[in-house]
Structure 1
């Protein structure tokens, strides 16, 4: 994932810079595409997550372990949404005006949100898998206190690899040319920063591949369990498979593009280091896909709706009395249709 300067430099993309590597170049595409995309992410994300926060804090009669895990997703989304307006301002103004400390915090929050969203959605899907396929497993007797410890462990796992980002300055240029971005070329002035960039790229790929493999495993196992189950009430199983499908859809839309372009950048860096044209093409694609990462903040409320019946009931009950019954029936019919299609 790259955050580039908006100042362009003319050079020959087909040849590397003297001394090796591709020279840093401003990518104007970022300033054109990202502001409207990130603005949509912020508006939709705030609308959905403010509503979700209100329901979690004031409308839920009680919290289950699943509700506690979902609430962590709301927290992760708010961290990212609070950081995006600064990035939008920098893109529109053409330079960074908020100083070095805010630059470090801004990048840290944006990258941490991706990791936290992936990790928490994976935990929710695994918890649902055990509820359905292994109903007698002791994990299903998890208390809210234990769910809190699980959440703390997830946050520690997410924050620890990203924390070194706070130790380095990411300010480039000076005056009206000041920019806040992670890296721009093969060569950096600090070996430590270069190692941090390599770690970031590795995490970007691994934190998608392994959770996605787990999600597919859970979904296939639940689907197989559903097909074998011919008696009893299949509602819980159908809800579980619906949750997995929604989470997988969010994964593919929001996180797959960045993962694919990151792998492409690694391949060019490793096998075609002289091909600066390919490097900057993939850089631009990465910048475009960067905006999709934060679309998860707008889509996560769908995860809350489809994975928690308590949340759905609280959402319907929060509607005005005049609309509650009619909207409640329409909402239930819509969920039931999706529920039927997913299950069968």
Structure 2
């Protein structure tokens, strides 16, 4: 793509020098954490409930997101020079966007499932079968993948000063329709799910306090689960929204101010570290919030003979599964 179609295009040397060590650490932590979680959900946990289907899909989305990380690390280590060609650039950015969307979707579904079980315990949605939960999960994947097709049909590789820049959010003077859809989805998939998470958290807390049930250990755990998911969501996906909207605002209000636009763009690119951080933190959320998962993990460690851990007998009490 010729630079004449771009607005204030530049390489991001600061991001390329700072971000790789962070992403390498996230990859080294995220791969084993998600692989173990995937193994436990798929092979070790005998209980099969709809909520476990959602969690399994959340693990899968996180695992696939982490798998795309080495390409991004290599790109940054080369000073943001993409050597794998335009097709792999599109596929890599497609995987990043699609699995980020799927991860957000299933985090929201898990929180909403807690909301219905506590606030509306007699609602028929609480009696969905595993088959229906699986069908709904397939629908989520189909929707997220189809909405990200523009990343596969638009050229995303730009040449700048002898380097090839692989970006889905770039400095377009006139944003192509497919990329504009990508931008809108990026914003919508933060604000809409975050609103749902906040609503679930406040509604659960309000209802339980009104019913004077907030001292029960199981109830406290339910509140904690939704609160932790909301916090992780805000920390991991909030910085990208704030910096991205700031860059777009500068472009609209001060299109001649390339210095400010480039600084905001660099902050936005650096925020990808928080996106990958979500995949690192999610396995900790499973251990923190689910006694069933935690006990299965302990049993697996005991089975492998690595050490002997005490397994709680109240595994069915504190659980998001």
The aligned counterpart of 1:14 is: none
Kindly tell me: are residues 103 and 186 of structure 1, through their superposed partners in 2, closer, same or farther at Cα, counting changes over 3 Å?
Answer: closer
Matched, 1:201 2:179: no
Q: 1:136 to 1:253 in 2, by over 3 A?
A: same
Determine whether 1:324 maps to 2:308: yes
Which residue does 2:294 correspond to in 1? 312
Which moves more between the two structures, 218-227 or 122-131?
A: 218-227
CA distance in 1, matches of 2:6, 2:151: 23
Relative to 1, partners in 2 of residues 1:20 and 1:232: Cα closer, same or farther, differing over 3 Å?
Answer: closer
Per mean C-alpha deviation after superposition, the further-off stretch among 205-214 and 264-273 is 264-273
Q: Does 1:123 align with 2:109?
A: yes
| The one of 30, 35, 42 aligned to 2:27 | 42
- Aligned-partner Cα distance in 2 for 1:220–1:118: 19
Q: Are 2:171 and 1:170 aligned?
A: no
Does 2:8 match 1:23? yes
Aligned equivalents of 1:186, 1:180: Cα separation in 2: 13
8 Å CA contact 2:150, 2:179 repeated in 1: no
Equivalent in the alignment of 1:215: 197
Normalising by structure 2, report the TM-score: 0.88
Moved more, 167-176 or 63-72: 167-176
RCO higher in 1 or 2 (8 Å CA, sep ≥ 6)?
1
Distance (whole Å) between structure 2 residues aligned to residue 308 and residue 152 of structure 1: 24
Residues 171 and 181, structure 1, Cα contact 8 Å, conserved in 2: yes
How far 1:231 sits from its partner (Å)? 6.1
Q: Does 1:296 align with 2:278?
A: yes
Aligned equivalents of 2:213 and 2:176: distance in 1?
58
| TM-score using structure 1 length | 0.82
Higher mean alpha-carbon deviation, 50-59 vs 263-272, is at 263-272
Unmatched 5+ stretches in structure 2? none
1:73 aligned to 58, 63, 66, which one? Answer: 58
Query: Structure 1: how far apart are the matches of 2:252 and 2:128?
Result: 46
Alignment partners' CA distance in 1, 2:255 and 2:161? 32
Residue 149 (str. 1) matches residue 135 (str. 2): yes
Render the CA deviation track for 1:105-135: whole Å, top value 9, x for unaligned. 1010011222111111001000011011111
Q: Provide the alpha-carbon RMSD of the alignment.
A: 2.6
**1:278 Cα deviation after fit:** 1.7
Aligned to 1:277: 259
Distance 1:163 1:123 in 2: 23
The answer to whether the Cα contact below 8 Å between 1:115 and 1:158 also exists between their aligned partners in 2 is yes
How many Å apart are 1:235 and its aligned residue?
3.6
* Residues 43 and 234 of structure 1: CA distance in aligned 2, closer, same or farther (over 3 Å): same
Q: Are 2:140 and 1:158 aligned?
A: no
Q: In the alignment, what sits opposite 1:186?
A: 172
Deviations 1:85-107 (A, max 9, x none): 01111221242222222111101
Q: Which runs of 5+ in 1 are unaligned?
A: 1-16, 340-344
